[in-house]
Amino acid sequence: MSESPYHSFGEQALHYFRRDHEGPCRLPIEGPAAWRGAELFDDARFVERIGPEEIAELERAVAAVRGRGLALAQVHREDFPLPTLCRRAARWSSELVDGRGFLVLRGLPVERWGDDDSALAYWGLGLHLGTPGAQNPAGDLLGHVRDMGEEASHPNVRRYRTAGEIAYHCDLADAVGLLCLRTARAGGRSRIASSVSVYNELLARRPDLVDRLYEPFQLDVRDEQGTGGPRTIPVPPCRYAGGRLRTFYHSDYFRSAERHPDVARLTSHERELLDLYEEIARSPELALEMDFLPGDVQLLSNHVVVHARTAYEDDPGPGRERHLLRLWLSLPPPAARPGTPIGEPSTRGAGSPEADPGSVVPRSADAASASSPTTPPAGS
């Protein structure tokens, strides 16, 4: 078997940024991805429990891979059979692409398995959810989200390697998974919001700001590899086509791009837009906060969900620190939508009568055509 079981960092970023665009949407967007946190709080429907038979299935697959001596990067989907769980995995993948855009899998026995087998089981499950991908140009496949003692305020430090707060952003892949191996002593809450609902709210409050989301913002590359490539790349946060809004948002990297002397300062209008976008995403009405349990896997679509995290404090002592394993996934494109599509602009909304989302010619290139596949930042 020669084909790689995973995407390179560049392939994955290009896949993620390949977003069709017809023109700005000026009507509220409905559908399952337009959820509001206040409505989902205490709603167990987004938690999927993994049962004992499914755990046994994962354990058999891990043992088979161990028995053959395969390294994680050599494991293809065929090497990791999940005869029962694969059907649920397909549904979870659909939920990310066509549904709410997030879910939590609960109950992986990570303490019993230990970190190495947990990582392999997680990777194998990921192969049934989509196509995993490298998380930086160096090709790291499972990111370790933990405090490495780095200085959070340094402009080139990736904040997932610190215990600091992380502002709303998206990672550079269709979906991100976080497997919790260990929790913090305090803090480290996950905060997510539907970027579709944030858009709707922005549209209702300040329709004059919305069009700017379809123009590129400079994204700070924060070149951790020091490869000498571009220091920023232009990315339009929003793309809209076929009734679907896809958003790439990155608070820190949009804001820090202007530290580079060749990048224009953000205008007051742009700052107002970013501030309001995040204010809406943080509001109790829209945000959904959750604490992880060891053995939880949080899966998020980076097209319809923005994510953030509160600062945390670790338990002192070796091996007791908060530790999450991050997986990036490319997913199949959304299913064809016959009949009344989910996510079509609502006709009940407050849009202007002349608004015709299909009639506006896009004025900005998407990042997939505007940049080299190896230049996007590796996420936070």
Which spans of this chain sit near Fe ion (rule: CB under 5 A)? 171
Cα 124 to Cα 96: distance, rounded to the nearest angstrom: 18
Helix (H, G, I), strand (E, B) or coil at 313: strand
We find the least distance from the C-beta atom of residue 255 to Fe ion, in angstroms, to be 16
Name the minimum Å distance from CB 276 to Fe ion: 22
CA torsion sign, 79 to 85 to 87 to 89? negative
Least Å distance between CB 248 and Fe ion? 12
What is the smallest separation between the CB atom of 302 and Fe ion, expressed in angstroms? 8
Closest distance of CB 110 from Fe ion, Å: 20
**Tokens 């999940």, residue located:** 82
Maximum Cα–Cα distance across the chain: 65
8 A C-beta contact, residue 37 and residue 193 = yes
Residue closer to Fe ion (CB basis): 54 or 171:
171
Closest contact distance (angstroms) between CB of 253 and Fe ion is 11
Q: Are the C-beta atoms of residues 105 and 82 closer than 8 Å to each other?
A: no
Residue 143 or residue 243: which is nearer to Fe ion going by CB? 143
Q: Minimal distance in Å, beta carbon 83 to Fe ion? A: 32
The closest residue (CB) to Fe ion is 171
| Strands, sheet with 288-290, edge to edge from the N-terminal-most edge strand | 166-169, 305-309, 190-194, 288-290
DSSP 337: -
Cβ at position 126, least distance to Fe ion in Å? 16
* Cβ atoms of residues 138 and 225 within 8 Å: yes
First to last CA, the chain: 33
Nearest residue (CB) to Fe ion, 171 versus 270: 171
Q: Which is nearer to Fe ion, 117 or 183 (CB)?
A: 183
Q: Do 338 and 213 meet the contact criterion of CB atoms below 8 Å apart?
A: no
Residue 300: beta bridge partners? Answer: 102, 176
Taking the least distance from each CB to Fe ion, the nearer of 38 and 148 is 148
Residue 342 Cα distances to 29, 110, 251, 302, angstroms:
9, 37, 28, 18
In sequence order, the 6+-apart residues with CB closer than 8 A to the CB of 69 are none
Q: Which is nearer to Fe ion, 302 or 375 (CB)?
A: 302
- Tokens found for residue 176: 């991100």
| Minimal distance, residue 300 CB to Fe ion, in Å | 8
Number of H helices, E strands in the chain: 10, 17
Distance separating alpha carbons of residues 343 and 349, to the nearest angstrom: 13
Task: Name the token pair of 52.
Answer: 């004992």
